[in-house]
Amino acid sequence: MLHTNLSRLLASGGPKRLISTVNKLTTVEVNDKTGIAILTMNRPPVNGLNLELLQDLKSSIDEIEGNKSRGLILTSSSPTIFSAGLDILEMYKPDMDRCRAFWSQLQETWLALYGSSVPTAAAINGHSPAGGCLLATSCEYRVMVPKFTIGLNETQLGMIAPQWFMSAFLSVLPQREAERALNQGRMFTTEEALRVGLIDETANSKEEAIEKCAAFIGTFAKVNPLARSLTKQQFRAADLQQLKNGRKEDLEKFLFTVSQPALQKGLGIYLEGLKKKVKKQ
Ligand SMILES: CCCCC/C=C\C/C=C\C=C\CC(=O)SCCNC(=O)CCNC(=O)[C@H](O)C(C)(C)COP(=O)(O)OP(=O)(O)OC[C@H]1O[C@@H](n2cnc3c(N)ncnc32)[C@H](O)[C@@H]1OP(=O)(O)O
């Protein structure tokens, strides 16, 4: 009951204090009463994860870790897109120095979110392909609004999701389901995602999704915070360590992959397809 009241207060726009507007592409709002932080991505039109958005996400996660928030809810300011995943323009005909910085920042941001000491939840209020799905599956709980899609579609783009994308996916889905979905590059509708367990709940609006995420975070109200966070970290330690140990190799593989002419050709065709779709409407 206490948890429900807390989450209602949060979602009803109860006393909220904007504690950070420092970052250009993210905001952090901490509710004074509940202590839960809402981290909102705001890079129109599709929250494409470029270097700057990834930097802002990392610095917002650090801020939430540092200000003793009781939990983190990740969401988007767009009414239809949670995140379109990695900004393809960072990988298409890239400047290699920037591309290096981009991938290193993606690694850094993932380590911070997946390894966060506070309870994390994603209020998925729009489409969530690829890198968007990575962000959502790196959280501990997912609530999604109907009529959108989520999944790791990398193979559809001729790309291979790195091992740590798979780790986050596998922390949510059974191996058989995860392997098949990744091989197919499958995008799940909200209803399908609920059925396989890729999301935990559905909600009819962003506000309700945030309320349900807050209720999840409220379930830890009476649990010792240090014991909870160390337990979470033990569960995730092997996945985190695997990337920490292999960061350089992972970066080199990425740079090698994006410099392949066949991949560049495929990305060009994919981008063209996205643009043609816009013109048709
Ligand atoms: C073992 C070895 C490992 C080594 C590692 C090597 C490689 C790993 C590499 C990569 C991993 C990649 C993961 C990714 O995240 S790739 C990105 C995948 N994302 C997508 O496929 C999503 C594509 N977008 C969409 O499907 C739709 O845009 C969406 C459903 C999200 C929204 O649809 P809507 O109709 O609302 O909007 P659009 O009109 O389609 O888009 C508006 C505008 O935005 C541009 N855009 C969309 N998505 C992206 C994107 N991801 N990056 C850049 N730009 C994007 C779109 O082109 C439109 O632009 P404009 O025409 O207005 O200029």
> pLDDT of 159-191, one tens digit each?
999 999 999 999 999 999 999 999 999 999 999
pLDDT at site 136: 98
Kindly indicate the confidence band of residue 208, based on its pLDDT and cuts at 50, 70 and 90. Answer: very high
Predicted ipTM beyond 0.95: yes
Domains of the chain, each with CATH number or no CATH: 2-280 (3.90.226.10)
Ligand 1 touching residue 125 (CB < 6 A): no
Kindly state the average pLDDT of the residues 218-224: 96
Kindly indicate the confidence band of residue 277, based on its pLDDT and cuts at 50, 70 and 90. Answer: low
- Measured by CA distance, the residue closest to atom 4 of ligand 1 is 254
Kindly state the average pLDDT of the residues 81-98: 98
Give CA–CA dist 165/168, Å, rounded.
5
Ligand 1 touching residue 130 (CB < 6 A): yes
Report the atom number in ligand 1 closest to the C-alpha of 87.
52
pLDDT at site 13: 46
Q: Which residues contact 248 (CB under 8 A, 6 or more apart)?
A: none
Q: Which residue has the tokens 């004074």?
A: 32
Ligand 1 touching residue 279 (CB < 6 A): no
User: Does residue 220 surpass a pLDDT of 90?
Assistant: yes
User: Does residue 276 surpass a pLDDT of 90?
Assistant: no
**What is the Å distance from ligand 1's center to 121 Cα?**
23
| pTM of the predicted structure, to 2 decimals | 0.93
Catalytic residues: 86, 131, 153-154
Which residue spans within 8-136 are E strands per DSSP? 16-20, 26-31, 36-41, 71-76, 120-124, 128-129
Closest listed residue to residue 231, CA positions, set 123, 138, 140 = 140
pLDDT at site 275: 86
Report in angstroms the alpha-carbon separations of 92 from 44, 250, 266: 19, 19, 10
